[in-house]
Amino acid sequence: MRSPLRPGDPQSLGGYQLLARLGEGGMGTVFLGRRDDGSAVAIKMIKPEYAWDEEFRGRFRSEVRRARQVPPFCTAAVLDADPDHPTPYLVVEYVDGPSLEEVVTHEGPLADSRLHGVAVGVATALTAIHGAGVIHRDLKPQNVLFALGTPKVIDFGIARAIEVTSRHTAPDHMVGTVAYMAPERFDDAHRDITPAADVFAWGAVIAYAGTGRTPFRADSPVATAARILTQPPDLTGLSGPLAELVAVALAKDPDDRPTAPELLNLLLAQNTGASGIGRPLREAAEAAQLSGRHVSGGGRRPVAPVRRRTRTLVAATAAAALVLGGAGLYGRYSRDAPVESAPPAQAVMPVPGSVRGPWVVDALVRPGQWRASTDAYGASCSFRDGLAMTTPSFATTCPGPAQTFAGDQSIAARVAVGDARSCAEIQFRSAGEASYWLDLCPRTVRLRHEGALRNTTIGAAEQALFTPGQNRDVLLSLRDEVATVAVDGQVVLEKKLTDPSLLAGKVAFGVGPADEAKDQDVRASAHISRAEIRPIGDQPSAPTTLAFTDVRTGSTKSIVKVHGYYPKAKSVVVEPVLFMTGDEYCQTFNLKASPENPCEQAWLTEDSRMTVTLPTSANPTLTSTFDDPGRCAEDPVTVGTCAITPTQLSERLGNNGLVEATITNGTITAMADVYVP
């Protein structure tokens, strides 16, 4: 966005006339300039504190030389630079268009071909940049501009001149925006950043473009960094193959991410049909594929092609290669590691910061994280001492949690089939047109993969384990892409998952006819209760003496986050949190006061990421601050004291509202909303 020159700004720089300000960042100020021929350019004038550093000038000169070798495929070309000027400057092509951040802010998240075009454009730019031996280091939505509808990446390569200069590389200093930084960038021992960090930033940028939020969003830069290091991305709102590519790009280990050319190949393979990208962008992408001379991945792994699922036969046979090695997205698997043999009787409450992904607990005896439903064909999901599912002659699933589950995880439930011709089903890693299924039938336990092109059986155990009407405790464990199925504590099936692109997705429960009854007019039924979906293999990253309040049993009063309150069903979905002052938070987590951390805030919460469905009493006591906290709030905790109806409280809380809950023997008997000034 243009703004007038300020008093003290130069009128010209190195023979270029300066017309207006375009922006200001960590390295310097960007001006709109004019060349002698009248054409517009963008000129970045480096901050004075760097101008007096001879080491910086040398680095700047070297990085400019490399940046000028980057071919102009979806990049703003580097036109000129003067590292020896009293205030060093860089001249680049002027892109007369809004940034990706401005587009999303004013128009909302991108979708369909427009989102795919941005993904292709930025991947094209990274392919060109990495091919010239340059690393961007500061890829973010502000650095993606739109020119005639085609995205162009700016500000590449030069950040290294600051980041590697000795006097600017204190352990707590780095160039970039935290929300888009790869995990290795927070590791002082891992200072040799590779192009894989840019691929991670690509994943975060595309997630932002498609959802309007960053995938590791938190209340502070410190909390954001912690989520980048320990938790999977929140990709809710993205779907299909693009969501899968984003998930792989956001892998914690740089070796598990694709290179920029691999990423571009896969995006182009996905993009077929009338809704595809425009011709200029496709030509630039195809030219970039041929331009590179340098490896652009983590730099430590061999390159070996892995077939990926895509939407068309063309994509299925594309020459694109994506390397996942033998590694899962969030950790390694040891074949000697013990296999969990039975569902836990009750989940252990985590310590703060220890959970990498969503953790769902629901007895399924009432609506909460699963909902009742009936479709036009007669399939139904209802609650009768658990989730009762019926369907006429075809498989169906019941609506469940909206969270996306990734990495090492377990899915536990108590399962019963209704008769000899019925199968209970667990759908997992469901994303777009693909998912995995665990079929639990009277004579068979089977793992299968359902894709856009074909369905395959991964493995089956022919055992008569599910006698109709009899409950069995089922545990499905996913470790390093190996699925292990245990029934009543005994492992009955263990198979490697077959789709390397399907690393995350939703979980659902369902019912369908057994194989021998699929061509018959039968009504299949199954019953599931005591559901728990959680990450496995987490290590505490906070004081082990500090844990969240266990709201499932006993009697307590605790502040919780409410994800849904259903007065008619007498149920509420809550997430235990720690609610503390800024000073208490920083003392607890050993943070020193600074503008980047939350010590100065009045109140803060630390989320457990564990959602639990609890019953409420018949007539719980409900109070609120309404819109008059001076009259209806109790100091100093600011808990509401004025009576409110269940419907009003449900509407007021929405999703993620805070309440002080009074719990008696696992039942909520009172809720007071919490006012946070």
Which residues are known binding-site members for ATP? 44
Candidate list 112, 138, 419, 628, residue with the active-site label: 138
Q: Kindly give the pairing relationship between strand 89-93 and strand 40-46.
A: antiparallel
Distance CA 6, CA 212 (A): 33
Distance CA 278, CA 413 (A): 48
Tally the C-alpha atoms within 13 A of residue 621's C-alpha that lie toward its C-beta: 11
Distance CA 80, CA 673 (A): 59
Helical spans, DSSP H, in 302-436: 313-316
- Contact predicate 559/579, CB 8 Å: yes
State whether residue 467 is helix, strand or coil: coil
Is 234 a known active-site residue?
Answer: no
Q: Is the dihedral of CA 623, 625, 627, 630 positive or negative?
A: positive
121 closest CA partner among 72, 78, 74, 71: 74
Tally the C-alpha atoms within 13 A of residue 287's C-alpha that lie toward its C-beta: 15
3, two tokens: 């703004």
Q: Is the dihedral of CA 45, 49, 51, 56 positive or negative?
A: negative
| Residues facing residue 416 across a β-bridge | 527
Amino acid at 69: Q
Q: How does DSSP assign 532-598, residue by residue?
A: EEEE-S----S-TT------SSS-EEEEEEEEEEETTTTEEEEEEEEEEEHHHHHHHTTPPP-TTSG
Distance CA 286, CA 196 (A): 21
Q: Kindly give the pairing relationship between strand 657-664 and strand 667-673.
A: antiparallel
State whether residue 251 is helix, strand or coil: coil
606, two tokens: 């630390």
Distance CA 218, CA 151 (A): 28
CA-angle at 363, arms to 614 and 348, nearest 5°: 80
* Residues near 322 by beta carbon (within 8 Å), at least 6 away in sequence: 248, 258, 262, 263, 266, 305, 306, 308, 500, 501
653 closest CA partner among 560, 564, 570, 559: 564
Distance CA 103, CA 209 (A): 9
Q: How long is the chain?
A: 677
64 closest CA partner among 34, 24, 92: 92
Distance CA 445, CA 459 (A): 9
Active site residues: 138
